Amino acid sequence: MKKTILILLLAGLIFVLNQNISFANVYTFSPNPSDLYDLTHQSYYTWGINWTPQPNEIITRARLVIKDINNWTPEDDDALYIHLLRNAPLGVRTYTDNQGGGDNFEDWSVSNILLDIYSDSDDYPGAAENYHYRFTRNDLRHLNRWFKNGRIGFGFDPDCHYWNDGVKFRFETQVIPEPATMSLLGLGLLGILGLKKKRA
């Protein structure tokens, strides 16, 4: 009887662990248009994303990629300001700054953090390059909190014209087990230990 109960307990434990611990997923988002209108210098842009995590699902890694980015003309002070935004409007929005320099998101009304300031090391006609930004622990903390409270977004303010072949946001998630799952795991381990001691 005890052995049957233990087997059922372990079967339930394996099922729960498969549902809660082994689950991991990868999500990839791209704006429309994917190149954000080639990030022209007379505008700045927001890209809002809507994603709802499953219960106890958290983002563990995230990366922003801009494929084959290239400044259209040689300049000494080119800059692309990249922000993480809270509750940005969904989709791609374009705002005009008449080629004004500086970072328009500094005074943005939506909560935001500056992720990076990109500068092209090899302007056109030099070779294009792939830009990668890997989210820090602090970035991930904001990302998880803001996604739970709604949507997130990115802000791009180019002080130059950045040709590119597409922007992608990719992140990986894990599900953190609930206390009940951990209790079940503990009971299963105690049961296994008890069975081993009895056989010994």
193 and 138: one domain? no
110 and 181: one domain? no
CA distances from 197 to 3, 8, 11, 180 (A): 13, 19, 21, 26
- SS3 (DSSP) at 151: coil
pLDDT, tens digit, 9 for 90 and up, residues 53-104: 988 999 999 999 999 999 988 777 789 999 999 988 999 999 998 777 789 9
> Which phi and psi angles does 14 have, rounded to 5°?
-60, -40
pLDDT at 7: 56
Domain count along the chain? 2
CATH number for position 126: 2.60.120
pLDDT at 16: 52
98 and 9: one domain? no
Rounded CA separation 170/29 (Å): 6
pLDDT, tens digit, 9 for 90 and up, residues 138-188: 999 999 999 988 789 999 999 989 999 999 999 999 998 765 444 445 555
For residue 197, pLDDT beyond 60: no
| DSSP symbol at 120 | -
44 and 142: one domain? yes
Dig out the tokens for 177 from the structure.
């087990």
User: How many beta carbons lie within 10 A of that of residue 44, not counting itself?
Assistant: 24
Write out the residue range of the structural domain in which residue 102 sits: 24-175
pLDDT, tens digit, 9 for 90 and up, residues 103-143: 999 888 778 999 999 998 877 778 899 999 999 999 999 99
